[in-house]
């Protein structure tokens, strides 16, 4: 739970973001998410050239998935560490991250895949009606896209914010073309902090709507 001092610092930070960004193209719920991404990264590009992109059904599907106790399947432990565990416990969501499982490494070597790719394959039974959150590995996002195209999985929403120079921008572009709700961004920027911030922002929208 946030202390009064911590909350005052967060409120002041959010006001700085409002003042520096000014006008923007996002609706109220979208802006609440984008603003939290900027707050978590101190990177105003997420409202500019690396703008966050929303599928028309993304926020509603994401809110419903969390409220219904859907699983949160992530690519790396860095994302796990940044998701609000109090909210996870409250709504009964199960965070799944298989990247450190030795079996993932063995299977990845056997099938000539990255560990991130294989971790998504191994979590396929837990992805349906849940949230996939990619904050690091473009290969994980591309694997999820392939699994959707193969009709192996049907997530409620995919949060695709991989970071890097190889396939990061391209994987996000591919995500924006599939017929599954998504939240992503343009370009190479992204990362665990931005991906987790989107999940935390969805939780905050739920809490605000029920207060």
Which residue numbers are catalytic?
39
CA 39 to chain centre: 15
CB atoms within 10 A of CB 135: 28
8 neighbors 26 (Cβ within 8 angstroms) = no
Beta-carbon contacts of residue 169 (< 8 Å; ≥ 6 apart): 186, 187, 188
| Nearest alpha-carbon partner for 189 in 160, 157, 146, 153 | 160
145 neighbors 119 (Cβ within 8 angstroms) = no
Q: Can you name the residues that pair with 183 across neighbouring β-strands?
A: 54, 159
Query: DSSP E strands: which ranges in 97-170?
Result: 131-134, 157-160
Q: How far apart are CA 114 and CA 134, in angstroms?
A: 14
17: phi then psi, degrees, rounded to nearest 5: -60, -45
Q: Can you name the residues that pair with 20 across neighbouring β-strands?
A: none
């Amino acid at each position: 739970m946030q202390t009064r001092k911590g909350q005052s610092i967060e409120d002041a930070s959010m006001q700085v973001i409002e003042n520096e960004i000014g006008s923007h193209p996002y609706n109220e719920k979208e802006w609440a998410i984008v603003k939290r991404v900027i707050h978590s990264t101190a990177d105003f590009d997420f409202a500019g050239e690396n703008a966050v992109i929303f599928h028309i059904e993304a926020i509603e599907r994401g809110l419903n998935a969390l409220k219904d106790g859907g699983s949160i399947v992530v690519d790396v432990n860095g994302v796990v560490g940044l998701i609000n565990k109090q909210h996870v416990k409250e709504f009964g969501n199960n965070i799944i991250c298989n990247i450190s499982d030795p079996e993932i490494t063995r299977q990845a070597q056997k099938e000539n895949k990255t560990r991130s790719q294989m971790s998504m394959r191994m979590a396929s039974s837990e992805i349906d009606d849940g949230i996939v959150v990619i904050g690091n590995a473009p290969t994980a996002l591309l694997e999820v896209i392939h699994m959707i195209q193969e009709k192996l999985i049907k997530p409620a929403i995919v949060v695709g914010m991989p970071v890097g120079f190889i396939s990061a921008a391209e994987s996000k572009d591919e995500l924006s073309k599939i017929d599954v709700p998504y939240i992503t961004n343009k370009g190479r920027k992204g990362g665990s902090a931005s991906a987790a911030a989107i999940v935390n922002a969805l939780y905050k929208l739920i809490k605000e709507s029920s207060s």
